[in-house]
Amino acid sequence: MKESKKFIFNNIFFVLVLLVILIGFYPSVNRFSNNFDKLEHIEELYKIILNNYHKNISEDTLVQFIRDGIFNNLDPFTQYISKEDLLRINEDFAGDFYGIGVQFSIIRDTVTIIKVIDNGPSQKQNILSGDRIIQVNSKDFTGTEVDNDMVMNTLRGARGEKVELTILRKNNKFKKILYRDAIPLNSVDSYYIIKDDVGYIKLEKFSSTTFDEFKAAVLDLKNQGAKKLILDLRNNGGGYLNQAVDVTNEFLNSGLEIVSTDGEYRNKKVYYSNKRGAFKKGDLVVLINENSASASEILSGAIQDHDRGSIVGNKSFGKGLVGEQINLKDGGALRITVAKYYTPSGRSIQKPYNFSDSSSFKKEYKTTSGRIVYSDGGITPDYIISVDTMSNFESKFWNNNYNLLYEKSFDVVDQNRDKIKNNYIEYFNQNKNKFWIEILKLSENENEMKAYKEKFIKLFENMILNHALSSEELIRFYNKEDDYIKKALNIFDKN
């Protein structure tokens, strides 16, 4: 009984500390009342429920309920991060992690290698795309209980640590011994000369290595003759503020505001550009879409407000909240919103959410040249690109059959990898009817399917290429017929 009371006290103490932080005890501003009556009320409720509720509720579960109740009533980005999730997040934004160097997918309850990372431990041991991992360190690694988290937690670990894999390749089973090593998580997915003197950079996130990667890419493109640049921030969900500021600084003349942060209990802070920068001059187009958020919006907002370049695409996500991360004793962390981001013209890029928010939307602001822009959540591009949407029939068929089509497309690659790699256009032309037959097997409405034949075949072919090509090859492939890219090139031609 004493031990149980100790557990109850520890859990209540955790919740009380969390409440203290959220109410304002952290960092220095005290918005507390003069006593703990309100928190004692929470403790009283906790004890009553734990000891009297008609169903058994564990202490951990009840703490989780209280925690969820707190966060469900705050903004979407104030959240508790568990120890396990925090480890993965830190790895994603650190620029590398320690693993065996593969990209995988779980196909028919088996971990299947989709791509092998260059110069990683797996490539050095001649592990190939299409190999199946059926055991790790002599333990079975197949079945319905195997999921993505389990695979990542098993294959990642300490640098230099030995991992023994049992591989199934076609009908051959063999063992490979690998040693975990640093696996880069690059921010720059691709860069190349896309046309004449136009450079292209695809930036996937703003991690701790982003600025160094970006600057190296810009300098290399300039050495290749680039005088104009397309910066692709589509699906870039953001990252570190300092990296966004440093990348934006590469484009702006000295002394210009890049972004400011301001909150009721945080002093206003303004970030300015300086003299350093590799692309202060030269035509610029930034591509954004509905998944471009946070740091991506800081950069595109600054470029737009200073009329430094053109923004092309679709309205961005609208995440303009400044989060601070507070490490907790359980190894997790509390990420709490403390302020908002504002573009140089004064716009808040935060969109409305289900919370009492005093932000005024649809207010007019002016860029450096006097153009009118709006503060209505997110960054609205200078040039909007119409997005090709699916009909209800298309969407229902594709979503309902996605997993089966994914497996079928992988089978095509697994059995014809060399042919596809050597000349996928020729292979596709020879096999379109076969693809269509496989797709039709999943539908009972052949007549309606016919109207979408070409579109479904194209989607299936893209699935095949996602398995067969590297990330760099895929980006170049999609860019050839990309409406965003076409518009960017058109803007350069007119300037």
Q: Is the pLDDT of residue 19 over 90?
A: no
Contacts of residue 10, defined as CB under 8 A and 6 or more positions apart, other chains included, come to none
Q: What is the DSSP string of 249-305?
A: HTTSPTT-EEEEEEETTEEEEEEE--S--S-SSS-EEEEE-TT--THHHHHHHHHHH
| pLDDT, position 405 | 96
Residue pair 312/287 in contact (Cβ under 8 Å)? The answer is yes
Report residue 429: phi and psi, to 5°.
Answer: -60, -35
Distance CA 236, CA 253 (A): 25
pLDDT over threshold 80, residue 161: yes
Question: ∠481-482-484 over CA atoms, to 5°?
Answer: 150
pLDDT surpassing 60 at residue 26: no
Angle at which helices 59-71 and 37-52 cross, to 10°: 140
Q: What are phi and psi of 431, to 5 degrees?
A: -125, 15
Rounded-to-integer distance, Cα 55 and Cα 60, Å: 15
Vertex 165: Cα angle to 173 and 179 (nearest 5): 140
pLDDT, tens digit (0-9, with 9 covering 90-100), for 238-258 = 999 999 999 999 999 999 999
Task: For tokens 């979407």, name the residue.
Answer: 76
β 110-116/132-136 pair status: antiparallel
Q: Tell me the C-alpha distance between 258 and 221, whole Å.
A: 24
How far is residue 48's CA from residue 124's CA, in Å, rounded to a whole number?
A: 60
Q: How many angstroms separate the first and last alpha carbons of the chain?
A: 78
What is the H or E stretch that residue 176 is in? strand 172-179
Bridge partner residues of 174 (DSSP): 167
pLDDT of residue 28: 43
Q: How confident is the model at residue 62 (pLDDT cuts 50, 70, 90)?
A: confident
Mean pLDDT of the region 58-68? 86
Q: In the chain, pLDDT over 70 holds for what percent of residues?
A: 91
Alpha-carbon distance of 268 to 340, in angstroms, equals 10
For residues 179 and 120, what is the distance between their CA atoms, to the nearest angstrom?
10
Instruction: Report which of 364, 186, 366, 383 is spatially closest to residue 288, judged by C-alpha positions.
Output: 383
71-123 residue pLDDT tens: 888 888 899 999 888 888 887 788 778 999 999 999 999 999 999 998 899 99
pLDDT of 7 reads 44
